C-alpha cells in the first residue's frame, strides 16, 4: 500500500511558478467554456499569476492527427507556429488546456529530440508558410498541472470543502486522467502512467477521498475516429460503460476529469445508457456528476456554479452541490446574457429517479 | 524486405514504435479496441515485423487497421518499449497515400472525417466548434446540448463576450491572417495533399460502387453504415 501511495513521487515534473502562455482546447472551449474562463480567473484573481490569452493561436489539430487525416509534418508545423506566437508575446512557459494537445506537444518535442531532421524540416516548413521562427518552450504543463501545483493555496482560500456538509464525511471522488496525459510519456505527468496523482492530489488537498476501482486506468472510449464517425460510436459508449460498471459499486459522489473529451464522454454516455437501457450509476438512481478540475477548484473557492458553466452538463450537478453545502440559485441556472430566462432543456432519464430505473451491475 | 515495409520505415513513428516484438500480447490485453472489435494489435505488429509485402498489403486494405482508438494504452505497458499505436498510425498513413483505404468499410470513413474535421480546421482554425455538433447527427449529446445549440449566443457569451467575434476567449473568431497561415502550413507540409488524396480515391471508389461520385449520399453512407461484421 505504501508503494502505491508513494510511487507518484518518483514522477515529479517541473511546473513553472508564473508567466504562462495559454493555449485553449477545441473540446474544452466548445463544451466547457466556463472552465477555461474559471482557469484564467483562478490564476489571475486567486493566485495573482500572469497568464496570456492569445487570440491568434489555433487548434493544435490533434483530433485530426489522431484520426489520421492530418500528417505528422503538418501538425509539427502547426505546433511550431504556436511556439512562435508564444515567443513573440514574450513568454517561455506553455500551458495547454487540452490533454490531446498536451500529448501532442510532448510527443513532438521528444520526436524533435530523437529525430533532429524532423525539427529541421519543421523549421523550413514554418518559414516557408509564415516567415516565422521559433524557440522551444522552457516549460510545458497541462493546465491541471498548474492547479495541482497551487492546490494547497487553493485549499487555504477554500470556501467549501469536498466534505459532506451534513455528515462531515469526505466525499468520494473518481478521478479520470485521460490517456494522453502520461501514457505516451510517463515522465511528462505528475505521478506517471500507473499512479497519476495530478487529480488525486487535488481531491485529497480539498478534503475528499479518492476512489480506487478496477478500471481506473481504462480509456473513456473517445477513440477519435471511433466517436467522430457515427457508425463507430458503439466502441465509445461500450468503453465508458465498462468504467461506470466498475466504479459504481464504490458509490462515488462525483467524477473529475483531466481531459475535456473524457469529461464530455463520461457525462454524455451516462445520458445515453440511461435512455437506451434504463441504467444509471449514481446514488439514488440518478447519474454521477462529472466535473472538470477547473469546476472542482472553482466550487471549492466559492465560485457560482452557473458562472462555472455547470448548467452545460447533461448529468445534473445539484446533488453534489447540495452535499457540499454550496449556496446557489436554482432559478439562475438557465439564464442567458443580460439575465433573461431562455427556456430549460427537456428532462432526461439520467436525472430522474424512477423505481424502474434502479442501478444494476452486470456481473 | 518489401516495398511497403520500406515505405513504412520512412515514418519516424515506425522507427520509434517497433523494434523486436516478442508476441507477449500485453498490448492486446490492455487494448480498448481489442475488447470491442475482432482486433489484436499483437498480430498486427507481428505481421509488420515479418516484412512480408503481401501480408502488409492485406492490412492496408483491411478494416483491421482502422479499429484502434489511438489511446496509446499499449505504449507504457510493452516490456520491449514498442508502441503498436504508432505502428497503426504509420499503416493508416500509408493506406491513405496508396489509396488502399477505400477498400474497407472502416477505411472509407476517412472521407467523412476529412470533410467534417479537416475542412473545419481550414475554415475556422478549430477541429470542432458548437455549430458543427448538430443534434440530429449527435443524439447522444442529449437535450442539454440541444438547448445549448439552440441558444448558443446566449449560453456562450456568458463566458466570453467575443463568442464568434474577433478578440480573445473561448470559440472566438480567428482573424484572416491566422487562418491564412494555417492554410499555408497545410499546403507546404503535406496536409492539403493528404486531403486531396482522400478525396481523389474516395471519388474513384464511389463510382466503382455505383454512386455518382463521392457526393453527399456517399458521404452520408460512409458516415452511418455499419455492416456489423466487426466483432
What pLDDT sits at residue A338?
85
Residue B225's SS3 state is: coil
Give pLDDT, residue A1. Answer: 43
Number of domains in chain B: 1
In-domain check, residue B133: no
| Contact: A229, B89; criterion CB under 8 Å | no
Whether residue A360 is predicted with pLDDT greater than 60 in this model: the reply is no
pLDDT band at A354 (very low <50, low <70, confident <90, very high): low
Q: How many CB atoms lie within 10 A of CB B209?
A: 11
Phi, psi of A97 (to 5 degrees): -90, 5
Residue B80 located in a structural domain: yes
Q: Which of A226-235, A337-346, B3-12 has the lowest mean pLDDT?
A: A337-346
pLDDT at site A12: 78
What is the percent of chain B where pLDDT is above 90? 98
* B126 contact residues in A (CB cutoff 8 A): 26, 29-30, 58-59
Quote the strand ranges of A24-109, DSSP E: 51-53, 93-96
d(CA A181, CA A193): 8
Residue A5 scores a pLDDT above 80: no
Q: Domain segments of chain A: what residues? A: 14-143, 159-357
pLDDT of residue A107: 97
What is the interface pTM, i.e. ipTM, of the complex? 0.98
Answer yes or no: is B90 within a domain.
yes
- The whole-number pLDDT of residue A357 equals 46
Name residue A257's beta-bridge partners.
A176, A292
Residue B157 lies in a domain: no
Task: Evaluate whether residue B39 is within a structural domain.
Answer: yes
pLDDT in tens, B56-71: 999 999 999 999 999 9
Q: Domain for residue B60, yes or no?
A: yes
Judged by average pLDDT, the poorest of A93-97, A359-363, B10-14, B78-82 is A359-363
Q: Are A190 and A222 in contact, with CB atoms under 8 Å apart?
A: no
Is B54 part of a structural domain of the chain?
yes
For the segment B9-18, what is each residue's pLDDT rounded down to a tens digit? 999 999 999 9
- Res. B182: pLDDT tops 70: yes
User: What is the rounded distance in angstroms from the CA atom of residue A151 to the CA atom of residue A164?
Assistant: 20
Q: How many residues does chain B have?
A: 231
Nearest to residue A288, comparing CAs of A321, A325, A315? A315
Query: Would you call B195 and A312 a contact, using CB atoms and an 8 Å cutoff?
Result: no
Contact A231 B224 (CB under 8 A): yes
Chain A residue whose CA is closest to B76 = A183
Alpha helices in A248-314 (DSSP H): 260-277, 293-300
Q: Which of these CATH numbers, 2.40.50.140, 3.30.420.40, 3.40.47.10, 1.20.1050.140, describes A14-143?
A: 1.20.1050.140
- Encode pLDDT of B132-178 as tens digits: 999 999 999 999 999 999 999 999 999 999 999 999 999 999 999 99
Residue A191 backbone zone (phi > 0: left; psi -120 to 50: alpha; other: beta): left
Contact list, B71 vs chain A (CB under 8 Å): 179-180, 183, 219, 222-223
Task: Indicate the fold that domain A159-357 takes in CATH.
Answer: Rossmann fold (3.40.50)
What does the pLDDT read at residue A194? 84
Confidence of residue B27 (pLDDT cuts 50, 70, 90): very high
Judge whether residue A362 has pLDDT over 50: no
**CA A72-B13-A139 angle, 5° bins:** 65
Query: Residue B51 sits in a domain of what CATH number?
Result: 1.10.1060.10
Its domain, for residue B53, covers: 3-106
B45 falls within a domain: yes
Asked whether residue A8 carries a pLDDT value surpassing 70, the answer given is no
Q: What's the pLDDT score for residue B2?
A: 76
Amino acid at each position: 500500500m505504501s508503494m502505491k501511495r508513494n510511487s507518484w513521487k518518483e514522477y515529479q515534473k517541473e511546473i513553472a511558478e508564473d508567466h504562462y502562455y495559454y493555449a485553449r482546447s477545441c473540446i474544452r472551449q466548445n463544451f466547457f467554456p466556463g472552465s477555461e474562463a474559471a482557469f484564467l480567473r483562478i490564476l489571475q484573481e486567486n493566485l495573482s499569476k500572469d497568464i496570456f490569452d492569445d487570440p491568434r493561436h489555433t487548434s493544435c489539430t490533434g483530433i485530426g492527427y489522431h484520426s489520421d487525416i492530418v500528417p505528422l509534418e503538418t501538425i509539427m508545423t502547426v505546433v511550431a507556429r504556436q511556439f512562435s506566437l508564444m515567443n513573440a508575446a514574450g513568454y517561455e512557459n506553455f500551458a495547454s488546456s487540452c490533454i490531446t494537445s498536451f500529448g501532442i506537444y510532448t510527443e513532438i518535442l521528444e520526436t524533435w529530440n530523437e529525430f533532429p531532421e524532423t525539427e529541421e524540416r519543421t523549421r523550413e516548413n514554418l518559414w516557408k508558410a509564415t516567415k516565422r521562427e521559433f524557440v522551444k518552450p522552457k516549460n510545458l504543463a497541462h493546465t491541471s498541472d498548474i492547479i495541482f501545483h497551487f492546490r494547497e493555496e487553493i485549499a487555504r482560500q477554500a470556501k467549501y470543502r469536498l466534505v459532506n456538509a451534513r455528515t462531515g464525511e469526505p466525499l468520494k471522488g473518481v478521478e479520470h486522467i485521460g490517456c494522453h496525459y502520461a501514457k505516451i510519456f510517463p515522465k511528462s505527468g505528475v505521478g506517471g502512467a500507473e499512479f497519476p496523482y495530478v487529480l488525486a492530489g487535488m481531491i485529497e488537498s480539498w478534503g475528499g477521498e479518492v476512489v480506487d476501482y478496477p478500471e481506473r486506468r481504462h480509456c473513456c472510449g473517445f477513440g477519435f475516429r471511433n466517436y467522430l464517425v457515427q457508425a463507430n460510436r458503439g466502441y465509445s459508449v461500450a468503453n465508458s460503460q465498462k468504467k461506470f460498471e466498475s466504479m459504481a459499486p464504490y458509490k462515488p459522489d462525483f467524477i473529475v476529469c483531466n481531459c475535456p473529451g473524457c469529461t464530455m464522454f463520461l457525462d454524455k454516455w451516462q445520458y445515453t445508457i440511461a435512455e437506451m437501457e434504463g441504467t444509471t450509476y449514481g446514488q439514488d438512481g440518478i447519474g454521477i456528476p462529472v466535473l472538470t478540475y477547473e469546476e472542482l477548484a472553482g466550487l471549492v473557492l466559492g465560485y457560482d456554479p452557473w458562472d462555472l458553466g455547470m448548467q452545460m452538463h447533461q448529468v445534473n450537478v445539484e446533488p453534489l452541490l447540495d452535499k457540499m453545502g454550496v449556496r446557489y440559485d436554482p432559478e439562475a441556472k438557465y439564464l442567458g446574457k443580460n439575465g433573461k430566462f431562455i427556456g430549460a432543456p427537456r428532462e432526461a432519464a439520467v436525472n430522474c429517479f424512477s423505481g424502474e430505473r434502479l442501478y444494476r451491475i452486470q456481473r | 524486405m518489401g516495398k511497403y515495409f520500406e515505405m513504412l520505415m520512412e515514418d519516424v513513428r515506425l522507427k520509434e514504435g517497433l523494434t523486436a516484438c516478442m508476441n507477449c500480447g500485453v498490448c492486446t490485453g490492455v487494448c480498448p479496441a481489442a475488447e470491442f472489435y475482432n482486433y489484436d494489435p499483437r498480430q498486427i505488429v507481428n505481421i509488420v515485423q515479418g516484412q512480408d509485402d503481401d501480408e502488409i498489403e492485406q492490412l492496408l486494405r483491411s478494416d483491421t487497421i482502422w479499429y484502434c482508438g489511438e489511446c496509446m494504452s499499449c505504449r507504457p505497458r510493452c516490456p520491449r518499449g514498442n508502441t503498436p499505436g504508432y505502428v497503426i498510425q504509420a499503416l493508416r498513413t500509408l493506406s491513405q497515400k496508396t489509396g488502399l483505404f477505400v477498400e474497407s468499410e472502416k477505411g472509407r470513413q476517412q472521407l467523412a472525417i476529412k470533410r467534417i474535421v479537416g475542412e473545419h480546421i481550414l475554415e475556422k482554425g478549430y477541429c470542432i466548434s458548437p455549430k458543427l455538433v448538430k443534434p440530429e447527427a449527435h443524439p447522444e449529446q442529449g437535450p442539454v446540448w440541444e438547448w445549448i445549440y439552440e441558444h448558443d449566443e446566449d449560453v456562450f457569451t456568458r463566458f466570453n463576450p467575443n463568442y464568434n467575434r474577433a478578440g480573445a476567449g473561448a470559440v472566438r473568431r480567428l482573424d484572416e491572417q491566422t487562418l491564412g497561415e494555417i492554410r499555408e502550413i497545410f499546403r507546404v507540409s503535406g496536409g492539403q495533399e493528404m486531403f486531396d488524396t482522400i478525396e481523389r480515391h474516395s471519388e474513384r471508389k464511389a463510382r466503382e460502387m455505383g454512386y455518382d461520385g463521392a457526393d453527399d449520399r456517399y458521404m452520408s453512407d460512409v458516415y452511418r453504415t455499419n455492416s456489423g461484421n466487426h466483432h
